Structure 1
Amino acid sequence: MRKHAQHVLRFSLVGVVNTLVDFFVYLVLAWAGVPPFIANLISTSCGLLTSYFGNRYFTFKVHPTGRRSAAVQLAKFIVVTGVGLWIIQPLVIWGVGAVLAGFHPTEILRIAIPKAAAIGIALVWNFLMFKTVVFRPATAGADDSRSES
């Protein structure tokens, strides 16, 4: 149980850091005159890479050996994160928004509650998938136990 709590704490810290990286890079680029869509694409990519390396080395401490293993791990990370960002979050926003519509909330609550729910569910998705699929420790005899450099 203690190891799980450490994973959750470290995952949270990495999340704060990668969010700050995303936000700071976006602000700098936008201030420099980069169009918002391009600035956001660059900043979220920086945040995504920060998240990958932070979770790989700090949260889960899983270091695949060889270029192929690292590339497979990065691909899994991008797929899992993409599903969370571009499939789960929109579905949750739509679903929670549809439920809230019957309650006639204020405009800010109509916007904030679905997004907050989507972030929460995507965070749980990311943590569970990172722990069980992306950064799962190699088992004895697995391909990750030998170098492919």
Structure 2
Amino acid sequence: MSAEGVVVRVPLATQLFRFICTGVVGAVVDFGSTYLLSLVGLSHAGSKTVGFILGTITAYVINRRWTFQAAPSRRRFVATMGIYLLTYLVQLGLFLVCIPWLEDHGFSDFWTQAISFVIAQGTATVLNFIIQRWVIFRVV
């Protein structure tokens, strides 16, 4: 929606490109926070939770304004946070399953976390785009 209240339709390809760019920013915030918090002794689950929350808030704000150009909405925010909770559970589960498997294969702590993060984040990103594009910010 523009400043004048006119709905601006953003093409799917543009939305997908912007969603990916936003996801990269959110992922940097998420992974950076997760890794740094694990270095100071927070558990894998605890550091991943804090990182996810920080990355999620970053991505929501950017996606709402830039990717989907949607007006602020409490209902949309609550719905998006519900979807993020669902994808968080999927993401955390994949992250925690991958860590011991990669450790057993001799990967260093950094690579174990990085690879686990990419697998979990990639899955969550696909789920998030599908749900946000066709449910939360659906084009009417």
Shorter-chain TM-score range: 0.5 to 0.7
CA-CA distance at 1:27 after TM superposition: 3.5
State TM-score, norm by structure 2: 0.62
Measured on the aligned residues, the alpha-carbon RMSD in Å equals 4.1
Rg (Cα) greater in structure: 1
Contact 1:23/1:43 (8 A) holds in 2: yes
Corresponding residue number in structure 1 for 2:42: 36
2:62 is aligned, of 54, 63, 81, to 54
Is 1:74 the counterpart of 2:77? The answer is yes
Inter-partner Cα distance in structure 1 for 2:120 and 2:65: 27
CA-CA distance at 1:120 after TM superposition: 4.7
Contact 1:84/1:122 (8 A) holds in 2: yes
CA-CA distance at 1:135 after TM superposition: 2.2
Moved more, 120-129 or 55-64: 120-129
CA-CA distance at 1:132 after TM superposition: 2.0
What amino acid sits opposite 1:45 in the alignment?
Answer: I
Corresponding residue number in structure 2 for 1:17: 25
CA-CA distance at 1:58 after TM superposition: 1.3
Q: 1:54 to 1:39 in 2, by over 3 A?
A: same
1:126 is aligned, of 110, 128, 140, to 128
Unaligned runs of at least 5 residues, structure 2: 1-9, 98-104
Contact 2:18/2:66 (8 A) holds in 1: yes
Q: 1:40 to 1:116 in 2, by over 3 A?
A: closer
Is 1:84 the counterpart of 2:92? The answer is no
Corresponding residue number in structure 2 for 1:145: none
Is the partner of 2:11 in helix, strand or coil?
helix
Inter-partner Cα distance in structure 1 for 2:90 and 2:28: 23
What amino acid sits opposite 2:31 in the alignment?
Answer: F
Identity of aligned residues (%): 25
State TM-score, norm by structure 1: 0.59
Unaligned runs of at least 5 residues, structure 1: 65-69, 95-105, 140-149
The Cα offsets for residues 72-128 of structure 1, whole Å up to 9 and x where unpaired, read as 21211122122223248859xx9xxxxxxxxxxx899xx9xxx97765554332112
Q: 1:48 to 1:117 in 2, by over 3 A?
A: closer
